[in-house]
Structure 1
């Protein structure tokens, strides 16, 4: 156990905030694109850093451990500290010493890990606020509230089970363990002090769930963008130095980073429909011979998605025009961390064919980078924010022809018209979806609901 010294805080009554993101592979240095690892982890990490920086309190992120990280090969156990902050990531094992996809997590696995979590907390640990994520993190938070009754529990479901099951067949619902989620999600919803909605779709789904009206518990906690990483690039082209650095880091030809391109980024998940994005690009490529597609995918963990993508690439002879980055190619921090934002900033358009999103973090980052966005009706930030502002287009999921036409529209715009769309995309999410604004607003809403921790 890592003993952590408590720091006095004269300006804020909060001393400890606990964030729980149980599934996935959460680290101080996140690799987006790993299975079950993406927008939610970035959301949690950015929220944790902003809470620490605004209120000078100790922040701990709790994540399931007990298995080796697929890239760093480090056993995910114990507690790691951010070198610049009193911010910690704590990994705790359960009864299965291996990575478990969120679809296969059970209530028993989570319950049996509670005692190990309590033993790993430093002596005298008493969180003032517990902010849990998804149903599994919410269930862990519910158990921990029995031991920390003074804590305010805010549950952020991201994609409630009603949204999750809507696009799925009965067989797919079985595969995604919908029945388990329904059982435990209702319990968390009833017991949590407050429930955080990340979009209008989430709010609507939660407002009338399990035979009751929950609006009295719901507050808005939208995702935010790290504007230090994701912002418009003035010249829309990388410098020679940046091109050489990216090429050297990835051992790839420098020319690759100078191509006109569109991009698709998000976690590796069958519901992201990355193959549909590639299918849409294939239609674009028939009419625009000089455009390239960049996307990310963990091919070892999502072999079926990879198979579908490579089948399209081979059939359409796109081997030199579709480039797939693995998660380790796109680190969040340190060397190479500017590759992902630079690819997005210099794109002509961003596409996501996802059929399940609680918000759409990657699309929001693209908009904040001043890039037109093409997304499905299942991505709230596109339907509710970006497209209404004139910064993107909504297409139906699986409709690759409509997606291709939208991409072609943005590719063929004159520079001035394209820039107008790009400006609309940017202004639709900045400053409204920046982390400082969102965290301050979260604590204001908590105070208005009677949960005042002296943070406002």
Structure 2
């Protein structure tokens, strides 16, 4: 489509407009224009030359500009990166004479290197990384709409294979069923069934037998009869359940299709022990939220652990295994911090509240420089310790589980790298969850990595990301756009498709976006802590009164800044870490600039520390100073409350409900948000929610139906949107209730942990089955990844470690 787009402009009378527009660009200061810059420049061009609105929107030039993601000016030529459809881009050089030349990815990466003056053509070629050949042997999705639906695709693919070559595939299915054990106890089938043919015959005999039993007859009562037929435990806890499972398998053998395959595989008891890896930050159950690097990920992992354990217990019970001593176990693997600052982060083992067998296992970093390894370490500085941490964690996990786990789930870049190292050594299914890929959060972070490496160490982080995402058996994203963006924005994983780290390496093809390893499985919200404000019977009166006082009237200079002139005004509320991306200072400035908003509302922020000297995090210190400056600049005294408090889970749930009691609103103003758990928490509490249009909130909120989008970079427009809502509520008191009710309904229908964990465990089983039946040879890919680890990652990690030892 892209060459036609350009050619259509050149072959029409719009050619002179293209020439004029390029001429305008040449007079701009910027040499590297991103999509927003390009659209603004085109808007200015159309305004300057008084073009009609239809020219701006629907001319051939307008379409070309719309699809152009980046423009790089170079020596009189311009380089156009055109993204005419999701998950694909093409690159063209347009000369001053308007000649078109298509560029290969390698040439584009050279152009980018030249742009930052890090291109040295006479010093040999740069290392090129290309993962595409490793995906040539695996099935790939064709339609971009189906990206992120990997498990459905795999089911269809596998069942079509079963249909094409039933003998070979049913032999694989038979061998797969023979594999399953819990410790040394056989599950599903025993040695009395010797072949796939015999399996088919015995299924029919077993079906005849269980059909005569009462539907709720316990498995224990007829267990020995099934054993004599060749069937061990795992088919079900009652005669009815055993019959259902055997019928599904019988149907799968006789007439395979993808739905039957998923229904059967999702019942197989093959996952009992799960590791959730989340190494950085302060990982604990109380007194940690709001500390540096400690926020939504901790909440997510704890809630996921509880839900997984509950689901595993349910699965074990339904499979008829709970009477046989089968005990599912979930371990959260994190870091032990000796100087734990009053938290439990120096405890090796801690039970997860409200679970039977879910634990936090903290493994210390090996002792290098005690000034570093005894204390909290920023996630940007964590890299030198991960390899030895993984080796030590392996021993601890094997001891805790008394064997290997069945599934390892990594969280964030560091956790995913540890998950890769562990799964490589233990030969266990690896799942990745990014939470946020920093590459898309920090503009041009790869191009300027050399300038940023002292502070952020992106060379290590982006290398770790490439290693982990390609090694993973499957990847969970919270949203579709996390993978491939939207029609007008690049996805987080898509940003790894091709990029340059000047003078380090070129990534020609960093990830296959159409791989079935990608699955969209949004997280849930903790329904014990977060529930609608109207459920008064579940609310604790003392918590409510204490938080009411804290939010609106309590004077406590140690942890509260600001006294409200009129506490009865409608509260605008936000709660997040004080860092640049979360952008609470942007919300304060938006409020400061709008006198109309100040007239109607108060601004209440729950955010980290109040004093610069209390923080050990550079970015947090900068934001603290900035927030005080904004309060001073716009004279917000009497209109703002800033709480530097740490809340327990139950308090953070109640705080949303107290704001809802006052018919307040929640604003999430992040410059970018990968998903947005606080949005779910606010919505399920019943708060009308305004959230950034950059990232995951676009898929959570349906604009103007159950919440609202804002552009946090446009402060005036954001203020207008909030003001418009507040005005409507003043005119029609029911309007607040309508949005509140729809927000609650949205979360309950789509974002519960029950939905999440059921899908996650189905994925683990399907990908386990896929790896077994396809006999996919991943060794060449894993060797390539190991080379990247040992030749690029490890030397850089060791250099950073040497630097740490001198601190």
Same structural fold, with TM-score higher than 0.5 when normalized by the shorter chain: yes
**Are 2:693 and 2:710, in contact at CA under 8 Å, matched by a contact in 1?**
yes
Q: Mean Cα displacement is larger for which, 278-287 or 266-275? A: 278-287
Where structure 2 has 5 or more consecutive residues not aligned to the other structure, the ranges are 1-182, 186-232, 237-268, 314-327, 485-490, 499-508, 556-562, 772-807
Report what 2:710 is aligned to: 395
- 1:33: how far off? 1.9
Corresponding position: 1:261 with 2:560: no
- SS at 2:709 equivalent: strand
Query: CA–CA distance in 2 between the matches of 1:239 and 1:404?
Result: 34
1:162-203 CA-partner distances (Å, limit 9, x unpaired): 423447694785443322221111111111111111112212
1:149-171 CA-partner distances (Å, limit 9, x unpaired): 1x211011122344234476947
Corresponding position: 1:438 with 2:715: no
Corresponding position: 1:292 with 2:563: no
1:343–1:21 CA distance, 2 compared to 1 (3 A): farther
1:295–1:451 CA distance, 2 compared to 1 (3 A): farther
1:44-65 CA-partner distances (Å, limit 9, x unpaired): 1111000011112211111122
Report what 2:203 is aligned to: none
Corresponding position: 1:244 with 2:545: yes
- SS at 1:263 equivalent: strand
Query: CA–CA distance in 2 between the matches of 1:221 and 1:239?
Result: 32
- SS at 2:648 equivalent: coil
Corresponding position: 1:407 with 2:664: no
Report what 2:593 is aligned to: 283
Report what 1:196 is aligned to: 476
Of 377, 381, 385, 1:109 maps to 385
Report what 1:228 is aligned to: 528
- 1:363: how far off? 1.5
Corresponding position: 1:139 with 2:455: no
Query: CA–CA distance in 2 between the matches of 1:75 and 1:358?
Result: 27
- SS at 2:599 equivalent: coil
**Are 1:133 and 1:156, in contact at CA under 8 Å, matched by a contact in 2?**
yes
Of 343, 348, 352, 1:78 maps to 348
Report what 1:53 is aligned to: 310
Of 497, 501, 512, 1:209 maps to 497
Q: Mean Cα displacement is larger for which, 256-265 or 405-414? A: 256-265
- 1:29: how far off? 2.7
**Are 2:605 and 2:642, in contact at CA under 8 Å, matched by a contact in 1?**
yes
- SS at 1:426 equivalent: helix
- 1:432: how far off? 0.5
Higher helix share: 2
Q: Mean Cα displacement is larger for which, 87-96 or 339-348? A: 339-348
**Are 1:36 and 1:269, in contact at CA under 8 Å, matched by a contact in 2?**
no
- SS at 1:272 equivalent: coil
1:285–1:68 CA distance, 2 compared to 1 (3 A): farther
Report what 1:3 is aligned to: none
Of 408, 433, 437, 1:130 maps to 408
1:214-247 CA-partner distances (Å, limit 9, x unpaired): 42211122121122322322399x9975543336
Corresponding position: 1:155 with 2:443: no
- 1:34: how far off? 1.7
**Are 1:153 and 1:193, in contact at CA under 8 Å, matched by a contact in 2?**
yes
Of 681, 684, 692, 1:376 maps to 692
- 1:127: how far off? 0.9
Of 346, 359, 371, 2:675 maps to 359
Report what 2:361 is aligned to: 90
- 1:435: how far off? 0.6
Corresponding position: 1:182 with 2:462: yes
Which of 1 and 2 has greater Rg? 2
1:247–1:389 CA distance, 2 compared to 1 (3 A): closer
- 1:440: how far off? 0.6
**Are 1:348 and 1:411, in contact at CA under 8 Å, matched by a contact in 2?**
no
Report what 1:332 is aligned to: 649
Report what 2:168 is aligned to: none
Query: CA–CA distance in 1 between the matches of 2:554 and 2:481?
Result: 43
- SS at 2:530 equivalent: coil
Query: CA–CA distance in 2 between the matches of 1:388 and 1:222?
Result: 19
Report what 2:278 is aligned to: 21
**Are 1:19 and 1:131, in contact at CA under 8 Å, matched by a contact in 2?**
yes
- 1:358: how far off? 1.4
- 1:81: how far off? 1.1
Query: CA–CA distance in 1 between the matches of 2:444 and 2:596?
Result: 30
1:262–1:249 CA distance, 2 compared to 1 (3 A): closer
Q: Mean Cα displacement is larger for which, 29-38 or 432-441? A: 29-38
Query: CA–CA distance in 2 between the matches of 1:294 and 1:315?
Result: 18
1:249–1:395 CA distance, 2 compared to 1 (3 A): closer
- SS at 1:406 equivalent: helix
1:392-416 CA-partner distances (Å, limit 9, x unpaired): 2222232221221122122222221
Report what 1:62 is aligned to: 333
Query: CA–CA distance in 1 between the matches of 2:287 and 2:409?
Result: 19
Q: Give the root-mean-square deviation of aligned CA atoms.
A: 3.2
Query: CA–CA distance in 1 between the matches of 2:298 and 2:630?
Result: 30
1:232-285 CA-partner distances (Å, limit 9, x unpaired): 22399x997554333678996399886631111123322111100111222345
**Are 1:224 and 1:435, in contact at CA under 8 Å, matched by a contact in 2?**
yes
- 1:318: how far off? 2.4
Report what 2:793 is aligned to: none
Q: Mean Cα displacement is larger for which, 372-381 or 199-208? A: 199-208
**Are 1:31 and 1:327, in contact at CA under 8 Å, matched by a contact in 2?**
no
Number of residue pairs matched by the alignment = 439
Query: CA–CA distance in 1 between the matches of 2:346 and 2:552?
Result: 28
Query: CA–CA distance in 2 between the matches of 1:350 and 1:167?
Result: 31
Query: CA–CA distance in 2 between the matches of 1:273 and 1:163?
Result: 16
Query: CA–CA distance in 1 between the matches of 2:724 and 2:526?
Result: 28
**Bigger relative contact order (CA 8 A; separation at least 6):** 1
- SS at 1:246 equivalent: helix
Query: CA–CA distance in 2 between the matches of 1:139 and 1:239?
Result: 42
Where structure 1 has 5 or more consecutive residues not aligned to the other structure, the ranges are 1-5
1:49–1:73 CA distance, 2 compared to 1 (3 A): closer
**Are 1:68 and 1:74, in contact at CA under 8 Å, matched by a contact in 2?**
no
**Are 1:294 and 1:322, in contact at CA under 8 Å, matched by a contact in 2?**
yes
